[in-house]
Structure 1
Amino acid sequence: MSFVLSVNVGSPEPRPGRAAPTGFGKVSVECIDVADPGPKRRGPGGQGVSGVAGDFIGSGRHHGGSDQAVYAVAREELDHWAREIGRELPDGAFGENITTTGLDVDASAYGDLWTVGDTVLRVSAPRIPCATFAQRMGEKGWVRRFTERGRGGTYLAVVEPGTIRPGDPITVQRSGSSLMIVDLLRAWMGDLDEMRSAMAHDDLDDESRGYFTGVLAKRA
């Protein structure tokens, strides 16, 4: 059975060497209220907008907005990395809002629908490892290792808002798309063949299409 193991929210905290705070550090809470936050944008101090009420996003340039409303990671993947790096990784350690169990999150296809409690979420984007993530992990070559592993969880858009709690079952309705979230991650990390493949899908989101078009034009 697939269900929510924990729900996690971040508050602003200092980021070493940077003026702007980060909300990467997540703590588990009793429940989260989720809703579509609207387009990606930068608010006061450059902060972004999350689909999770009370969740702080430090960089609206790179994070937040409708297609990055909620972030989910499988507990099984955290356990894999805990064994790899030799230390415990609590729920929320990757900055995720939802830690799942019993679900192969990284087998998700673009457009898959998740019914979670009284909410409906849609698989919408891969998680791109960033400098803040690497800094928090403190592991040599973290971005490269994480990318090579290729199992970074998924961002979810909010189709029907509601409340999510630990223990809520997760039911997946497959979209039928062959555009896999792991392939999109490779495309965003610079794999030109994966970019071209993703561009062939009519349902590819506008942000990805725009980015891939620009990169491929420069490489032509």
Structure 2
Amino acid sequence: MLRSPQEGSPAAAPVTARVLSVNIGTARASEHTDADGGMTGIGKRPVNGPVAVTAPGPKGTGGSGLAGDFIGDLRHHGGDEQAVYAYAREDLDRWQRELGRELPGGVFGENLTTQGIDVSEVRIGERWRIGPDLVLQAASPRIPCRTFAGWLQEQAWVKRFTRAAAPGAYFRVIEPGEIRAGDRIEVLHRPDHEVSVAFFFRARTTEPELRPRLMAAGDALSGEELDYARRWAADPS
């Protein structure tokens, strides 16, 4: 969804990649979730001060990687492969213009609202350092669900989000640490394959012809996505 400057236009000043806000969700009732108890933490809000980030444990038992962040449906969300979800402020701004409504940091359920880096073009296996200690590794794209659609209350939201192919990225925690708003994002390692989270998202949803190329990301894929890639390598249909 990010647009390049028009040809001949003045070059924009470089923006240091950073975390604009760290967002935490609290439990709230929702009729759009299948979680036991009908609770969701999708509506996240920015918090002040440092937040501890650690690997939460396997899906099904581990929730969010951020201390204090609620995950309602542990069967489908959270765990080590979805410990931290990041979304770009630039993409939120694009949606804000399209939807004609304010979209504050955290409204898409993201833990990190970023600036100055195209989160959806992060490559599977890419590593970021945020703040002095935390190291994250990109694992998979976000796949929209009915809880997301119900929360935003936008018509045909899953189809619109899918068509835009700017899913944001889930990260696993490689080295724990504390983060806060304003922390710089440093790319420690960018793999030389082509499989970004947006590439995988398009292969999984709207462009199945891309599926034979997914194994280029190899073991850097999360468990579920690696299973998909192996199956599609054998039978792309």
User: What's the secondary structure of 1:67's corresponding residue?
Assistant: helix
Using the TM superposition, give the Cα deviation of residue 199 of structure 1 relative to its aligned residue in structure 2, in angstroms: 3.4
Q: Which residue of 2 aligns with 1:62?
A: 76
1:50 aligns with 2:64: yes
Using the TM superposition, give the Cα deviation of residue 202 of structure 1 relative to its aligned residue in structure 2, in angstroms: 2.4
Q: 1:146 & 1:97 partners in 2: Cα distance?
A: 18
Q: 2:46 & 2:87 partners in 1: Cα distance?
A: 14
Q: 1:71 & 1:54 partners in 2: Cα distance?
A: 15
Q: 2:227 aligns with which of 201, 210, 213?
A: 210
CA deviations over 1:124-173 (Å, ceiling 9, x no partner):
11011110111111111111111111011101111110111011110113
Q: Which residue of 1 aligns with 2:204?
A: 188
Q: 1:137 & 1:119 partners in 2: Cα distance?
A: 31
Using the TM superposition, give the Cα deviation of residue 20 of structure 1 relative to its aligned residue in structure 2, in angstroms: 1.9
Using the TM superposition, give the Cα deviation of residue 50 of structure 1 relative to its aligned residue in structure 2, in angstroms: 1.1
Q: Which residue of 2 aligns with 1:133?
A: 148
User: What's the secondary structure of 2:218's corresponding residue?
Assistant: coil
Q: 1:17 & 1:147 partners in 2: Cα distance?
A: 19
Tell whether the 8 Å contact from 2:65 to 2:80 is kept in structure 1 after alignment: yes
Cα RMSD, aligned residues only: 2.0
Q: Which residue of 2 aligns with 1:98?
A: 112
Q: Which residue of 1 aligns with 2:159?
A: 144
Q: Which residue of 1 aligns with 2:13?
A: none
Q: 1:216 & 1:23 partners in 2: Cα distance?
A: 35
Q: 1:219 & 1:186 partners in 2: Cα distance?
A: 13
Using the TM superposition, give the Cα deviation of residue 193 of structure 1 relative to its aligned residue in structure 2, in angstroms: 2.3
TM alignment of 1:3-42, pairs within 5 A: 3-16=18-31, 19-30=37-48, 31-42=50-61
Q: 2:208 & 2:51 partners in 1: Cα distance?
A: 37
Tell whether the 8 Å contact from 1:14 to 1:20 is kept in structure 2 after alignment: yes
Q: 1:205 & 1:142 partners in 2: Cα distance?
A: 25
TM-aligned CA distance change 1:95 to 1:3, over 3 Å? same
Q: 1:93 & 1:168 partners in 2: Cα distance?
A: 20
- Give me the TM-score of the superposition, normalised by structure 1: 0.90
User: What amino acid is the match of 1:156?
Assistant: F
Q: 1:139 & 1:52 partners in 2: Cα distance?
A: 28
Q: 1:137 & 1:216 partners in 2: Cα distance?
A: 35
1:113 aligns with 2:127: yes
Q: 2:121 & 2:182 partners in 1: Cα distance?
A: 21
CA deviations over 1:21-43 (Å, ceiling 9, x no partner):
0010101112321011121114x
- Give me the TM-score of the superposition, normalised by structure 2: 0.84
Using the TM superposition, give the Cα deviation of residue 190 of structure 1 relative to its aligned residue in structure 2, in angstroms: 5.8
1:199 aligns with 2:234: no
Which residues of structure 2 form unaligned runs of 5+? 1-15
Q: 1:17 & 1:163 partners in 2: Cα distance?
A: 32
Q: 1:218 & 1:122 partners in 2: Cα distance?
A: 28
Identity of aligned residues (%): 47
1:168 aligns with 2:166: no
CA deviations over 1:169-203 (Å, ceiling 9, x no partner):
10113122321110111233264323332135422
State how many pairs are aligned.
Answer: 215
